[in-house]
A and B are shown apart, each in its own frame.
Chain A
């Protein structure tokens, strides 16, 4: 057992209102620079939809992530041999049009234009070429309300859905959607690190943050291809690749990352998880049916004596172990089991977990004859002439789960590598908590039924209350349990980092005689 600590994240999708405050906070701090304009280290996309960059989930196009290769895994689009063959021509790179061409407006024309017959306008100007452009796309182009059929119907997660299920979604696409905020997953088995020919990308030992060394990066852009989440971006101005740094300067000083700090819906949680690094290879190459379970299994119980002892042996600080014990992420993911990683089938073992959204899934649409109601309205009142009712009430306890607006398969494609049972379990748990809270606060439900729902999903009332508390009432310190950075113990303080300099890249090469 090789216990290490990982600062991991949890996004509660039921709470996301899609305001993009996180994206703006991140942009203002990190990517408001030349060459980085098109980057959104944090972006929020709607599902169903093709996301940013467009169709990033379709690895037949971008060749990101790992694929199972016998007993182990190999990179789909890069790696030693493929990387070497393609090193001067990386054939699966996204181009700027796959993201979007960033632009601003020529505001100076508004005040500096000479007197003329027409009102001056601020034309859009490309932030790359500096010339006027026709705006073709943006990071959320045609995105809300699930966008046009061009975007929603091309969602790669729709595969494996029966034609009937797909048809149902297409009928509903104009009103059913949810938001999916995404940042770098700071994976346990990061494809970007594995793909880098320069050895510029590394996973920090103390908290598992994946970083790109800007001095070592040689712009091969293998990481851009390799990251299946497309969260490594190439800066065309500096000639280096960049990615989300989980605001490590903030974390080190005990402040939550900017996107999490600013989150209006308070959907974001951050906490330490302890994991067994010895098992990464085994877990990453697990059978597809067992993928999610084994990825969750690698996370260790921070209260277990053996785990604590082994962690201490590895130099994990006591304060970090304490943070792991208090971690809200651990509770959601392991204790309550209501959070899953995004696209575990990419086999990078992402450390960002999502509580799947229930609302758009659980409600149903029914046709109503509202004539009576309409007749009661004032004659000058606006009358809606549709007959649809957005209905969240249920006859049966689990009725809406079975006949969900979003087929469970769609959610399963996103969060559990296609396993609908996992999603159903989580939905039931989330539903049970709501029923339990309704019973507590309103008290209009049949007591027996309430007990039965909790028993069905193996939740005690205390646990249900805890879930409710951490979901709805959690304060800043409950949501962000940030371990002290212990910079005084950082490797560069106690070891000469020059000892390992030059031993990265393709295996352990011999250093040139002239030195590095």
Chain B
């Protein structure tokens, strides 16, 4: 009987322990899962874990360098930290080409989840995390091997002469690239002429797929750019970046006004030609002009 009773207690205890373990571990894995989801959604475009710098710094071992409070407030609003003159924040801002890290609309708990995820991945057993491996076309071509054909395909995609496969808007609607054979692009977003040299291929690639910029994210969220398209666009941007060194700046803004003026003159010239013999004034004009006026 006693044995049975002991056995029962042992089993009961182990059940309780098991339940605690399940609860504990499921809680842990849940937060870890949360962190992973958010990281892959919002952070991965600019950051890697253990794969080197991308747009922003590699986040592996971030906790060796910064305190959790610092990270928390930086993620919430990097700009206000920079403005307040935090030396670390200013240093990072300058180091990464003064690219603004957007304020993330995340709760403290969510940020902590992400940190937990980073911690876990940073530890020796974790994998390195990055959006892409090597950027290659479907035929296995690398960016460095891209030739005139790829660049021109990219240019057509950029200009919207060829539609993006999934129906996303052409880049030129919002972005400008200065270069030959290119018309002036939109001013809604950054001029991306020299983006390639700032971000390199992986940076550009990651922004295309998972843009941290809300408008771009909304524009392409349901109309993803395909891998090949991204490859061509990057090839084009690379070439544009190289060309821009020798490129005379094409200023369409002032030309536009000038062309408008010339166009107006031509248009009115045509009108004047068509109606050259129109009746210009009343037939009594001379008489009216001669008449005395009293007021």
Contact = CB atoms under 8 A, between A and B. Distances in A.
A91 B274 CA distance: 10
Interface in B245-278: 274-275, 277-278
A85 B285 CA distance: 27
Q: Which of B277, B282, B294 has the most CB of A within 10 A?
A: B282
Contacts of A410: none
A403 interface: no
Given A134-B293, A136-B291, A97 B279 contact: no
Contact of A97 (B274, B277, B284, B295): B284
Given A54-B283, A97-B282, A134-B295, A91 B275 contact: yes
Contact of B283 (A55, A89, A93, A136): A55
A85 B274 contact: yes
Contact of A150 (B279, B287, B293): B287
A50 B278 CA distance: 20
A62 B279 contact: yes
B277 to A, nearest CB: 7
Given A134-B293, A136-B291, A98 B284 contact: yes
Interface residues of B, number: 15
Given A91-B277, A91-B278, A97-B288, A61 B283 contact: yes
B287 A91 contact: no
A55 B293 CA distance: 24
A95 interface: yes
Nearest to A60: B277
Nearest to A50: B283
A19 interface: no
Interface residues of A, number: 22
B288 A137 contact: yes
A502 B245 CA distance: 65
Interface string A434-464: 0000000000000000000000000000000
Interface in A117-143: 132, 134, 136-137
Contacts of A89: 275, 278
B282 to A, nearest CB: 4
B277 A98 contact: no
Given A89-B278, A134-B295, 10 more contacts: A53-B283, A54-B283, A55-B283, A58-B283, A91-B277, A91-B279, A97-B282, A98-B282, A98-B283, A134-B291
Nearest to B277: A91
A328 to B, nearest CB: 37
Contact of B279 (A50, A61, A132, A136): A61
Interface string A41-73: 000000000100111001001100000000000
18 contacts: A53-B283, A54-B283, A54-B284, A61-B279, A61-B283, A62-B279, A86-B275, A89-B278, A91-B277, A91-B278, A91-B279, A94-B279, A97-B282, A97-B284, A98-B284, A132-B295, A134-B293, A150-B287
A312 interface: no
A229 B285 CA distance: 21
Contacts of B285: 97
Contacts of B291: 134, 136
A86 B275 CA distance: 9
A89 B291 CA distance: 30
Contacts of A86: 275
Contacts of B284: 54, 97-98, 136-137
Given A85-B274, A137-B288, A150-B287, A95 B282 contact: yes
Contacts of B274: 85
Contacts of A95: 279, 282
A261 interface: no
A366 B284 CA distance: 35
Interface in B179-220: none
A92 interface: yes
B243 to A, nearest CB: 47
A382 to B, nearest CB: 33
